[in-house]
Structure 1
Amino acid sequence: MSQKAILLQRIRKDLRQQLDRLRAAASEAHAAATDPGSKAESKYDTRSLEASYLASGQARQVEAMSDALDRLDQFEAPDFGIEDAVGPGALVETDLDGETEWFLLLPAGGGHVVEDQGREITLLSPSSRLYQELCDRHLGDTLDDSGHLVTEIA
C-alpha cells in the first residue's frame, strides 16, 4: 500500500472520529431543545429557541461531514509523476518565501490539517481557491496570486 493510500486511510479515520463527536453534540443539542426544562418561562426567555437553532446547525454539520466521508470513501488518489500536472489526489509541496507548505487535493474534507511524517498537510477541496490555483500546475510553476512555488508533486 502506498504512503498516500495510508495517509488517506488515516484521514478517513480522523474524519469519522470527528463525525462521531459531531453526532454526539447534535444529539445533546436536540435533547436540550426538546427538554421540558428548556420551555420558555416568559416571552423574553429564548433558551428553547436558541437550543433549537443550535441543534439545527449541528444537524447540518453532521450531514455535511457524512457527505464528505461518502465522497472520500469512493475516492482513490492516483500517484503523480514528475512530469504530471497537479490534479485531484495530488500531494503538493510548495515554497512560499522559504517556508514549505504541503497540500493534499481531495474531493471533500477541505480545511482540515493532518500530521504525516513530521509535516503538516492541509486538505483542500474543489471549492478552495488555492485548490483551483494548484490544478494543472507543474513542478516549478509559481501561483500568480499567492506566490507559492510548486516544488514537489506526489
Structure 2
Amino acid sequence: MDKTLLQQQVLDRLTEDLLQVEQAARAAHETATHEENIAENKYDTLGLEAAYLATGQARRAEAIRQAMLSWRRFRPQPYDAGKGVQLGALVCLVDVEDARQQRLLFLGPAGGSMTLLCGEQRVQVISSDAPLCKAVLGKFEGDEVSLQIAALRQHFELLWVQ
C-alpha cells in the first residue's frame, strides 16, 4: 500500500474540511453582524451566539490549517525492524480473541484522525496523540498490543508493519 497516496488522501480530506469550516465561519459571522440581529434586550442573544459560533469555527479552521501543515511536512519512512513501529508506519493489527477482525492503521502527525478507503481496504489514520498510536509505537511484528478504554481492555497482535 502506498503511504504517499494515503498522505495525499489525508490532505485532500483536510482541505475539504477546511472549506466547510470556513464557509460555516463566514455564515456565522454574517449572522452575528447582520443589522437585524442587533440585540433589542438582554434576552435577545442571537447575534451573540452567532459571534461565539463564528469564533469557534475560526479556531477550528486554524487547527485544520496547522494539521495540514504538519501533514505536508510529514515524510513517512520505510519500516526499520531495528526501531520498531514509528510514526509513518502502516500496521495491521489482529484482535487476539477474533482473528477475523483485522485493522489497518496509518500512524501520522496530529490532526489527521480519519478513516480512508484504499482500494477495497479501510485504513484508519490515527494521530500521534491517540492512545492506540501510543500503544503501538516501538512495537515489533508479532508483539501484543494492549489498550484500556474505560472498563474494556482490548488485546491485539501486531501482524505486520510496512
Q: Check whether TM > 0.5.
A: yes
Following the alignment from structure 1 to structure 2, what is the Cα–Cα distance between the partners of residues 134 and 38?
51
Counterpart pick for 1:151 among 128, 140, 159:
159
Following the alignment from structure 2 to structure 1, what is the Cα–Cα distance between the partners of residues 105 and 37?
45
What SS is found at the alignment partner of 2:43?
coil
Q: What is the root-mean-square deviation in Å for CA atoms of aligned residues? A: 1.6
Is contact 1:93-1:150 (8 Å) kept? yes
**In structure 2, what is the equivalent of residue 17 of structure 1?**
16
Measure how far apart 1:58 and its partner are: 0.6
Following the alignment from structure 1 to structure 2, what is the Cα–Cα distance between the partners of residues 147 and 78?
26
Is contact 2:86-2:137 (8 Å) kept? yes
- What stretches of structure 1 move > 4 A for 4+ residues in a row? 81-84
Question: After superposition, where does 1:134-149 map in structure 2 within 5 Å?
Answer: 134-145=136-147, 146-149=154-157
**In structure 1, what is the equivalent of residue 151 of structure 2?**
none
Following the alignment from structure 2 to structure 1, what is the Cα–Cα distance between the partners of residues 81 and 160?
8
Measure how far apart 1:132 and its partner are: 0.5
Number of aligned pairs? 153
Is contact 1:110-1:128 (8 Å) kept? no
After superposition, the C-alpha distances for 1:99-144 in whole angstroms (9 at most, x for unaligned) are 0111111112332111112122111112111111000011111112
What SS is found at the alignment partner of 1:109?
coil
Where does the alignment leave 5 or more consecutive residues of structure 2 unmatched? Answer: 148-153
Following the alignment from structure 1 to structure 2, what is the Cα–Cα distance between the partners of residues 101 and 125?
15
Is contact 2:10-2:112 (8 Å) kept? no
What SS is found at the alignment partner of 1:22?
helix
Following the alignment from structure 1 to structure 2, what is the Cα–Cα distance between the partners of residues 43 and 27?
25
Q: Which amino acid aligns with 2:146?
A: D
**In structure 2, what is the equivalent of residue 86 of structure 1?**
85
Measure how far apart 1:81 and its partner are: 5.2
Q: Which amino acid aligns with 1:149?
A: E
Counterpart pick for 1:104 among 90, 101, 106:
106
**In structure 2, what is the equivalent of residue 122 of structure 1?**
124
Where does the alignment leave 5 or more consecutive residues of structure 1 unmatched? Answer: none
Is contact 2:85-2:161 (8 Å) kept? yes
